[in-house]
Structure 1
Amino acid sequence: MKEAQKVFALSIIMGASMWVVDAFVDAYIFYETSFVDSLFFHSAHELYFRLFFFIGFLIFGAVIARHVSKSKKSEEKVQSALTAVQEEKARSESILAALADAISIQDVNFRILYQNRAHIDMLGEHAGEYCYHAYQGKEHVCENCHLAMSFHDGKIHTMEQSRSTDNGKLYYEIKSSPLRNSKGEIIAGIEVVRDITARRRTEEFIEESKKDWESTFDTIEDMITIHDKDFNIIRTNKAAQALHNIPFNEILHTKCYKYYHGTETPPPNCPSCESLRTGFPSVHEFFEPFLNKHIEVSAIPRFDSNNEFSGLIHIVRDITKRKEVESELT
């Protein structure tokens, strides 16, 4: 606003100066009249001429001042926009730098444009290099590159990779997504790398533990089945499958009393029924005509993560030989 006022004031000064100079010329060059008379009381034609130019200077000054004012406002808006962009860029970089995930940005030629601190710490600083050369030591784009797929179809792609280090094998989950300009054109891609080593090692531990449990479960000579609350068999060990030489998929959801007693209802003094009723383990010994064996049956309640009853562990031990020995001794 000050610049516009200065321009308008300058136009007034120039118009007044023109008026004074013309009066001076008429008075001292052409000797038409005195300077004061020439300045204020000259002929109407001369006064109209001076007034025309003076008003012209004012109009010119007003136009220039208006233009300067608009230009200044435009500059202020541009500067404000640039400041906002710089602040947003700094804010975005601060957020990216604070993230635990490693983040990088590559252009459509796979040249690395940006790495956050986590990415640099994980893979080293490689800004300006091609990602396939920096990370994989290759001279061309990697086969089945997730970032290339994002450039091709504009979608998010996820893959897992591993690499061997002095600290053992490390696992990474890599997610790529396209970055677009205001026209919707893909101009770059963002890659997020997450270290999932702990998760994968946990999964491997769980898988190994599961195999160990199944191996132990199947080596037990007692017949073990796991039941739901409705007496349906949902898991068996190999000894229980060998009882009738039936594969597990045919045993699944068979009623336990049908499988062990050949009946359509639980037998009298059923250990499972007792455990269902009391919520405590129960053990019974009896001769089972359907199996032609003396058996010891243990029923142990199962509880879920909410400590609610979910079923039973049913253990059947063949005690026929023991009973025969006891009978001989008596």
Structure 2
Amino acid sequence: MHLKIASEQTENRKIALQVSNVSRHFDGTAALQDISLSVTAGEIICLVGHSGCGKTTLLKMISGIDTPDSGSVFINGQPIVNGTHFIEPEQRHVGVVFQNYALFPHLTVKQNVLFGLRKTPRATASARADELLELVGLSHMAARYPHMLSGGEQQRVALARALAPTPDILLMDEPFSNLDQGLRQKVRSETIALLRKLGTTVIIVTHDAEEALSAGDRIVLMRSGRIIQQGTAHEIYDQPNGRYTADFFCNFNALSGTIRGGRIETALGSFELTDQQNADGAVHMYLRPSHIYPVSDDGDLHNTIKGTVTERHFLGETEELVVHTDDQSAPLRVRTALRLPADTGTIRLRLDTDKAFFFRD
């Protein structure tokens, strides 16, 4: 028996999952509102958003833990739930890795993996379990019990158990949130690399923006039961379609202002805009901390502003400064690779408005 590798499946990728106009209400409150989503075979999707946005509810619709009030779900072109069909969860060929891993404490590592292969002949199931444990690097722990494992090892057992029946789709609900920060990144990287190697179709639910940007082929951002924006990491980070998306993926500096005749007027001053496509009117100007630059007093001070450094947070390669100005009620956050003197108080800053985002609402 050999696991299928992604390179063998690159031809004619099909739609593995189709969610069409799915809605779900609880006590009159909309948890999902007319959600539609397509997932290509072998694609890794990150469902992201704040708590209560509907991402876990959507996973429940796909897995069969819950049913929608309206709409349809198809896996590999076959309806699994709509107005006339409901396929039981155990018949959907969907694997699930839960946030708490849900390992059976009285079963060994191998027995946990074998649990998903109960209808498979014993010899075949044992070989499959051995193969998966080798794949996740836990062959030497097959006889141990869950309480004898670290958090990262438990996560890998849960992953192997979910992959054992060769599911068409793997759903992962906050799979790395219980791990310490340092371990989380390592386990996440190893897990994603393995899933890509296998060509597994995956939907990962997370509230962590950094995790979504680093893990997903495509990111689906949700808010109040709706999809707000979806795209690749670069698309959604570099081209946010509104303030909610911008705020979710970066700690922006937001300044209210008015565009008039190629300039923006703000509480911090008036700044020239080289992009003449921005129409006149009231806007919110969003600037990343890395697009505000400290300027030396003996440099060009044209179009600079003055402020006072009130906090400093050393981050290794960069340092984040919190800068208060006389004209802006909220402090500015500045991220720089410069090594400023420890006694820096008053500072001059230049705003790179060419890299700003402008939102009308």
Q: TM exceeds 0.5? A: no
Q: TM-score, normalised by structure 1?
A: 0.24
Greater relative contact order (CA < 8 Å, ≥ 6 in sequence): 2
Structure with the largest fraction of strand? 2
Q: TM-score, normalised by structure 2?
A: 0.22
